[in-house]
Structure 1
Amino acid sequence: MLDWEQLNSACSNCQACELGRTRTNIVVGRGNVNAPLMFVGEGPGEQEDRQGLPFVGAAGQLLDTLLEALMLKPDEYYIANVVKCRPPNNRVPSDEEAEKCLPYLRNQVALVRPQILVCLGSTAAKYVIARDIRITQIRGQWIERKGYWIMPTFHPAALLRDQSKKTLLFRDMREVRNKLHTITGIKEN
């Protein structure tokens, strides 16, 4: 297992797939590296590629607003993606691209050691839970695996395209907050 400095260096120097040749910046993660809660998204978008941070574009702003509304504090979570480089035109990462990046994500999970993992969208759920998963069938259900509580839910970008998912995502995230507070003993304000 790599430490944080080694992981960032390995990601920065990675050329294992075509995404390494087209990125502007590597996007490893943001947040508390000792957080009890970890969010995993698909991959960087245009703004993330420019800034080198995950979830800073429109979907990230929506996620931040949701986390604030649920009174989750930034020191309670860490945010990462399946792939660390932006797929051209924000397309879904190929299986090969995701497979090349999975060791980095696994290393991040091992370093953060969260108690809860939230898969934001079908790509994250596919590579964290099961390859044949369908987010519409499994979202909102807790899965316990290898000592982690895992919650698959919609990616915030899905709300930008379909507002009808808003209530379901909010409900799922409220369940995440409640589970987090139960596990950690954090009292709600």
Structure 2
Amino acid sequence: MDEECRNCPALCETRTQVVHGYGDVGADFLFVGERPTERADRLGVPFAGEGGSDGDGGLRRMLERLGLCDVTSPADAPGLENVYLTNLTRCRDPDREPTDEEIDNCDPYLNAEIRMINPEILVPVGERALRELGVEYTTTPVDDLALPDDHATRIRGRGFELVPMIEPSEQSDAETQAWLETFVELMASDYRQTKGRQER
């Protein structure tokens, strides 16, 4: 993972740092957002932070409630268990969403992480992540994938199952509870696929 990546000249001018994935490399659950939030850009960890309006704290609190994140761990080094966090793009422009070209430029990083982690469950966080992962990892036509309709649903994929979520900062309390209930049920089920994964 290139810490000084220069593939997107415009983003090189606006980022604080390159934010590659972070977490348990043996994880069953891989969360994918669109781009680093402001706090993640500053700290260097996807979805890092406490509270705030950019959604970082919301996802962390959800992971803590699921027992997947140590509540005492610091924002810049969250103690994650069975979870890996990443984004479609590694760099942030504070004023705009990433372009299709920028997402394509980062695709090799994401693909490398997915191959390395070999998760069972992909969690697209937000509409853009759902559409991008849907194209590659499901047989569902991408036009049939959308939030909020697919929030907290289980979508069968190609060797993976997807459990999309609305951006945490945009979720109502009811939507957060619905997603947590779906994920608790999933964690209690036999969710592992038969795709030749190696024993860890």
TM class, shorter-chain normalised? 0.7 to 0.9
Question: What does residue 189 of structure 2 align with?
Answer: 182
- 1:129 matched to 2:129? The reply is no
Q: Identity of counterpart residues, as a percentage?
A: 31
- 1:109 matched to 2:114? The reply is yes
Q: Give the secondary-structure state (helix, strand or coil) at the position aligned to 2:63.
A: helix
Q: Deviations over 1:48-69 (max 9, x none)?
A: 1111111124322111112222
Of 28, 32, 52 in structure 2, the residue corresponding to residue 36 of structure 1 is 28
Of 52, 60, 67 in structure 2, the residue corresponding to residue 64 of structure 1 is 60
What are structure 1's unaligned runs of at least 5 residues? Answer: 1-7, 160-164
The CA distance in 2 between the partners of 1:38 and 1:116, in whole Å, is 6
Of 76, 81, 85 in structure 1, the residue corresponding to residue 82 of structure 2 is 76
The CA distance in 1 between the partners of 2:146 and 2:88, in whole Å, is 17
The CA distance in 2 between the partners of 1:169 and 1:95, in whole Å, is 29
Runs of 4 or more consecutive aligned structure 1 residues displaced over 6 Å after TM superposition: none
- 1:48 matched to 2:40? The reply is yes
What are structure 2's unaligned runs of at least 5 residues? Answer: 70-79, 136-141, 193-200
Q: CA deviation at 1:184?
A: 6.3
Q: Give the secondary-structure state (helix, strand or coil) at the position aligned to 1:50.
A: helix
The answer to which structure has the higher helix fraction is 1
The CA distance in 2 between the partners of 1:141 and 1:47, in whole Å, is 28
- How many pairs does the alignment contain? 170
The CA distance in 1 between the partners of 2:22 and 2:98, in whole Å, is 20
User: What TM-score comes out, normalization by structure 2 length?
Assistant: 0.77
Are the counterparts in 2 of residues 116 and 180 from structure 1 also a CA contact under 8 Å?
Answer: no
Question: What does residue 171 of structure 1 align with?
Answer: 178
Q: Deviations over 1:16-44 (max 9, x none)?
A: 22213321111112210111111111111
Question: What does residue 146 of structure 1 align with?
Answer: 158
The CA distance in 1 between the partners of 2:7 and 2:177, in whole Å, is 37
The answer to which structure has the higher strand fraction is 1
User: What TM-score comes out, normalization by structure 1 length?
Assistant: 0.81
Q: Structure 2 vs 1, CA of residues 13 and 143 (structure 1 numbering), >3 Å: closer, same or farther?
A: same
